[in-house]
Every structure is written in structure tokens, then in C-alpha cells.
Structure 1
Amino acid sequence: MFNDYYKGKKILVTGGSGSIGKKIVRELIKYDIESIRVLDNNETELFNLDNELNSSKVKIYIGDIKDDQRLKTVFKDIDIVFHAAAYKHVPLCEYNPLDAVKTNVLGTQNVIDMAILSDVKKVILISTDKAVNPSNVMGATKFLAERLMIASNINSDEYGTKFSCVRFGNVLNSRGSVIPLFKNQLMHGGPITLTDEDMTRFIMSIQQAAKLILQAGFLSKGGEIFILKMPAFKLSDLVDAMVEYYAPQYGYDKDDIEVEIIGKRPGEQLYEELITPDEILKVYDNGDLFIIRDELNEDHEDFVYNSNEIDHLSKEEIKEILIKMDKIEV
């Protein structure tokens, strides 16, 4: 299905050296695409990715989405843009709000403008659950990025550029996420720093994230927000599962690992939401996906989709996910 759609396409991935961006590139290269351009401002990670893939189809571009002049070259003759470039760390955005706005909001507008000027067919924004009823700078900037992306369809005619969004939960083992942090702390015998025992989060694998993005690119007609149906977990249960699973691997007794409660970091929420009450009225069930469209669904069902209200994974289920994750990495 995907291969037929992406066959012969010229694709650009912004933020292509990040965890999600790299996975998108690795997945796309499996298809019969014409070329993939990878844009990022991280020179070292781009160099490593280029050496790893060693493909004539992959073209590396050092640059920044804040630089609209640079984008003119990168966007030329592109069919589809997967826009993953963003500042994503909540505390850093709290302390550097203007820079977060410049990249996540103004940078996204640059991507939109250049896509329209370059006659790109589709643009897919990679967003986050923190954009729903945002309580921190990062979430607020991603909320605005979503609004900019969806609103751009108003000025797009039948043959113009189509803009859509993909809204994620927490991506397992992505760069800067809690699992690499906890693993590193366990390697050194602890303590594990837990923000709050009652904190809950949605969870998805990098493989699921990449599949959702490619599915969105395939399904997008403009104006949609695509959301994977995903489970949630308590952060304290994740800590317990990781201690039980990893401590013996690193030569420690699980009972000797201490957990230190450090409190919420600046801007953090106790739970996350993926769909607002207003959006529930416009949700369409697409099997493994929810699709939010800018039209009322007369057959919609009322439900709450936040990480506190849905059933949580058990410690054993989390441990199974960790085992599967390690097998995939190997």
C-alpha cells in the first residue's frame, strides 16, 4: 500500500537527524522513492546518518527552518514534506521561550510558506499531546504550529498544497526521553530520579510513530489531525518495571536501587491529553487511528482521552515492551 503511494516521490524530512526524523528516513528508504532530502542543523548527527545509510537516494542538507533563504534550495521539486524539526524539551523551552517560538512557530510558518511557493503536494507536521490544552511553552508553540498548519488549507485550492498533523504521545527510547535517562541511572546503580509517582503518560514505539507518519502522508487530504490509539502508563510503574528488568543486567540487586522523588520540572503536567472535548465532536474512528477533521461527526461518541482516565499498562506489560524494544535495537 505505502510502496505504491511513495513510489517515485521526492521527500523532505526536516529535523531529520532526530529520533523520529531518522526513523522516518530509514523507513522511507525501504520504498521505491526517487530521493529523500534530510534537513537538520546538527552536523554530527547528519554526518553519522549519511554514513549509516550510505545511499545515493539520501541527500543531506545542513540548515535551519528559521532560515527561509536556505529553505528555497531544499524545497525545490519536493512532493512531500515531513516536518519534524522542533524544540521539544519542556524545561528548556520554559527557560528559552522566545527561541521556542522562533523555531516551533515561526520556523513552521517558513515551512508552510516555502511549501506553497514550491508547489509541494503535502506537508505533515509532527506534533505532540502537549499541544492539547497546553500548560507549558513547548505545548503552546506546538499548539500554534498545529493551528498554522491546519489554517493553511483555507488558502489551498483543489490542486494546492495539503497540510495535516500527526499528534504523538511519548515515544519510547527517543533521544532525551525518560527511558535512556533511567537506563543510564541504573547503569550507575541509581538513584532513579522520579518526578511524581502519580504522573501518567501516553506511550508509543518509534516504529509505531514512523508507521503513523507514513500512514498520515498516505491518507491526508488536508486539514486532518491523525492520532494513534495508544496505551498509557504510570511513570512509577515504568520505574519499577525498568528496575526489575535492567538492574540485574547491570550487575545490581533490584532491591538496592533507590528512587528519588524530585518533583515536577518546570512546565510539566501530571497527565497528558490527546483530544480536547471540542475535538471529540469532530473525531472519526479509522481503526487504529483517530482522525480529527474540520467537520462535525454526527455519529460521534463522547469519551475522554487523557492518560489519567484510560486503563494503564501493568508492570508486566511494560516489561514486555522493554524486552521487545531491546530485541528490535539489537
Structure 2
Amino acid sequence: MTGDPMEKNASILLTGGTGSFGSHFVPMTLENYDPARLIIYSRDEMKQWEMAKKFGDDPRVRFFIGDVRDRDRLYRALDGVDYVVHAAATKIVPTAEYNPFECVKTNINGAMNLIDACIDKGVKQCVALSTDKASSPVNLYGATKLASDKLFVSGNSYAGAGGCRFAVVRYGNVMGSRGSVIPFFKSLPDDAPLPITDPRMTRFMITLPQGVELVWHAFEDMIGGEIYVKKIPSMTIMDIARACVPGAETKVVGVRPGEKLHEQMIGEEDAPHTYEYDEHYKIIPAIHNWSKDPVRIKNGVKVPEGFSYVSDTNEDWMSVEALRDWIDENADTIGHF
């Protein structure tokens, strides 16, 4: 069995569909794949109402109020669905630290509900969104996403031969998304110093279209159980600040609870099962000897022993000028998706 690109005229469901990822996935997928239905599954009626104003005249876009915690509702929503993208999550680090039970209910129990529903309703493929914080997690959000990743990987065993195939895509903070550092810096008064958690801090830089394209690639490439990690550049928090507000003063405020100095996408422990490709890495799980399966490996090259993919040791760096150009080109949408 080999991966296939999403078919034209298919039915696609996106959990957490009114979030940042959905704001780009929906229009890009409508244009590139012309689905018969693209179902936005989420629990916030106001966000659905706002999104419907953008796509309300498109008969392919459907809206379904529901929560991934609600197993029965998922079963109803997945009637006749071919492909699922799982973007729903409780993901704000401090929120998860102070509301751990709620984070577990959505990120772990919700993942279990969706896996069962996909298998039982005959979904062909499901791709789940992960995060850098799931690699060697130090906060509850990351720990729940690590558990979620493991659940989706093992979902291929539960589904059995010929059943739903599950894979995961992993990336870090999205440039310009709601609540992220770029719109935060841009929102401060002109004379206010920019609060810097730690001058040594580094972050991976990815755009939402790149994240969408990685999901598309996963559908096309996956056999089941793979974790896809896109190659992207890094920046220091100081350079991000310089790009956002040139010449602004800064003040060090300290690292927040559960926050890392550097983002990690792939840890040393995953190196024995990780392969490199032109534009991404792929972690292939060790269970069932899948990491030795040539059909999953394809043309990948095994990474060196002790390899890790971390933002401070990354070979690819984005310049202040490049980020400033991106900010200028995307000024109208920063902080609105």
C-alpha cells in the first residue's frame, strides 16, 4: 500500500477548522483539490459565523458545530468523509499549565475519539498536526501532544490492513499567527520597550502556506505512522524584535513557565528512526519494524547517530531583512489568522 494524494471531488473534514491553520488550509485546498465537501468542525459558533462570511457562497464549504471530546458528534460528522486533518487542540502553554485536565481532555481524549471514529466510519487517511513542543516536552501541552502523536502512530495498528491510515506533521510557531510574537511586538506603543524573554532564545520560522503544503505532502507520501518535519530557518528572538520594530529598545522579562530557550523538532532519541529528504525529515516509528520498511523510507537517507533538529543548531537562518520583507508583504493579515 502506498500513499496517494487527496482525490479530487472528495469529502474532507478539518477539526479545529476556524483556527490559524484553517484560515489557509481551506482556501488553498478548495483551489488545489476542488473537494465535494470541506467540513469545518469546531466548537466556536462565532468563529464559524465569521468564517462563513468568507466562504458562505461556496457550496463546498460546510460548518459543523462539535467538539473532539464528543465521540458521538464526531461519528455523525464523519459520515461519508474520505480525509481528515486534525488541527483541534488546546495549545497555549500557560493555559495548559493552569488548566491541565482540560488540556488532556482535548489533546489526548480527543485524539482517541477521532482515531476510533476515523476507523469505524471508513475514513481513508487522517493527518494530525503536532508541534515542536512534543519533542522532549517540558510543559503539559507538549506532553499531551507527544501522547497524541503516539496515539495517531499506533492508530495504524488499530485500523489493521486496509483500514484508515494515520500520519503526523510537526512544525513550530507560525509567523504572524494570532497570539504569536510578531503581532505582539507590532501591537505595542511606539515608545514601549519590547519585552524579551531571553536574548539567547531561538525559534523556527514557518509560514502557514508551508504548513498546509506539508500536510498535502503527508497525504501523498504516507504509508502510515510517519511524522513529517519540514526543514525551515531559525531566528533569534532579538533579530525577530529588530525586524518587527527597527531601533526599538528591549527589556529582558524572563522565560515563562514551561517555555524552552530553543525549539526542538527531532530529539536524539528519534535519530535511529529518522530519515532526511530534500525539504523535510521523516520520523518512522520503531514499532512493527516500520522504521526498516523500504516502502516507508523510499529515497530517504538515514540521519547520523546523535542527530537532533533544534533551532539554535540549525544550519538555515533567516535574516532580519528577509523577515522585514515578509512583514511588509503580509502586513494586512498579521495577527488576523
Q: Report the TM-score, using the length of structure 2 for normalisation.
A: 0.89
User: Matches of 1:212 and 1:299 in 2, distance apart?
Assistant: 19
Q: Which residue of 2 aligns with 1:250?
A: none
Q: Which residue of 1 aligns with 2:255?
A: 264
**Ranges in structure 1 where 5+ consecutive residues have no aligned partner:** 245-253
Question: Which residue of 113, 118, 134 maps to 1:131?
Answer: 134
- Residue type at the aligned position of 2:326: I
- Residue type at the aligned position of 1:310: N
- Residue type at the aligned position of 1:13: L
User: Matches of 1:226 and 1:212 in 2, distance apart?
Assistant: 8
User: Matches of 1:227 and 1:310 in 2, distance apart?
Assistant: 13
Q: Which residue of 2 aligns with 1:247?
A: none
Q: Which residue of 2 aligns with 1:104?
A: 107
Cα deviation 1:1-35 (Å, max 9, x = unaligned): xx974302100000000001221112111122111
Question: Which residue of 317, 321, 324 maps to 2:326?
Answer: 321
Q: Which residue of 1 aligns with 2:150?
A: 147
**Where do 1:43-82 residues align within 5 Å?**
43-54=45-56, 55-82=58-85
- Residue type at the aligned position of 1:227: V
When the two structures are aligned, how many residues end up with a matched partner?
317
Q: Which residue of 1 aligns with 2:288?
A: none
Q: CA RMSD in A?
A: 2.1
User: Matches of 2:332 and 2:72 in 1, distance apart?
Assistant: 43
Cα deviation 1:40-76 (Å, max 9, x = unaligned): 1111111111110121001101111111121121111
Tell whether the 8 Å contact from 2:135 to 2:264 is kept in structure 1 after alignment: yes
Q: Given the alignment of the two structures, is residue 163 of structure 1 paired with residue 154 of structure 2, yes or no? A: no
Q: Which residue of 2 aligns with 1:83?
A: 86
Instruction: Report the CA distance between 1:328 and its aligned residue.
Output: 7.6
Look up the SS of the partner of 2:200 in the other structure: coil
Q: Given the alignment of the two structures, is residue 213 of structure 1 paired with residue 204 of structure 2, yes or no? A: no
**Where do 1:197-212 residues align within 5 Å?**
197-212=199-214
Tell whether the 8 Å contact from 2:244 to 2:324 is kept in structure 1 after alignment: yes
- State percent identity of aligned pairs: 34
Q: Given the alignment of the two structures, is residue 190 of structure 1 paired with residue 181 of structure 2, yes or no? A: no
- Residue type at the aligned position of 1:14: T
User: Matches of 2:257 and 2:269 in 1, distance apart?
Assistant: 27
User: Matches of 2:101 and 2:42 in 1, distance apart?
Assistant: 20
Instruction: Report the CA distance between 1:327 and its aligned residue.
Output: 7.6
Q: Which residue of 2 aligns with 1:306?
A: 310
Instruction: Report the CA distance between 1:128 and its aligned residue.
Output: 0.3
User: Matches of 1:175 and 1:140 in 2, distance apart?
Assistant: 23
User: Matches of 1:151 and 1:113 in 2, distance apart?
Assistant: 12
Seen in structure 2, the aligned counterparts of structure 1 residues 327 and 49 have a Cα distance that, compared at 3 Å, is closer
Q: Which residue of 2 aligns with 1:32?
A: 34
Cα deviation 1:105-130 (Å, max 9, x = unaligned): 10111111111110111111100010
User: Matches of 1:220 and 1:86 in 2, distance apart?
Assistant: 23
Instruction: Report the CA distance between 1:208 and its aligned residue.
Output: 0.6
**Ranges in structure 2 where 5+ consecutive residues have no aligned partner:** 286-290
Instruction: Report the CA distance between 1:290 and its aligned residue.
Output: 1.1
User: Matches of 1:222 and 1:123 in 2, distance apart?
Assistant: 9
**Where do 1:275-286 residues align within 5 Å?**
275-286=266-277
User: Matches of 1:178 and 1:100 in 2, distance apart?
Assistant: 22
Instruction: Report the CA distance between 1:39 and its aligned residue.
Output: 0.7
Q: Which residue of 2 aligns with 1:251?
A: none
User: Matches of 1:215 and 1:29 in 2, distance apart?
Assistant: 16
- Residue type at the aligned position of 1:210: V
Q: Which residue of 2 aligns with 1:19?
A: 20
Seen in structure 2, the aligned counterparts of structure 1 residues 70 and 5 have a Cα distance that, compared at 3 Å, is closer
- Residue type at the aligned position of 1:8: N
Q: Which residue of 2 aligns with 1:231?
A: 233
Instruction: Report the CA distance between 1:213 and its aligned residue.
Output: 1.2
Bigger drift between 131-140 and 312-321 goes to 312-321
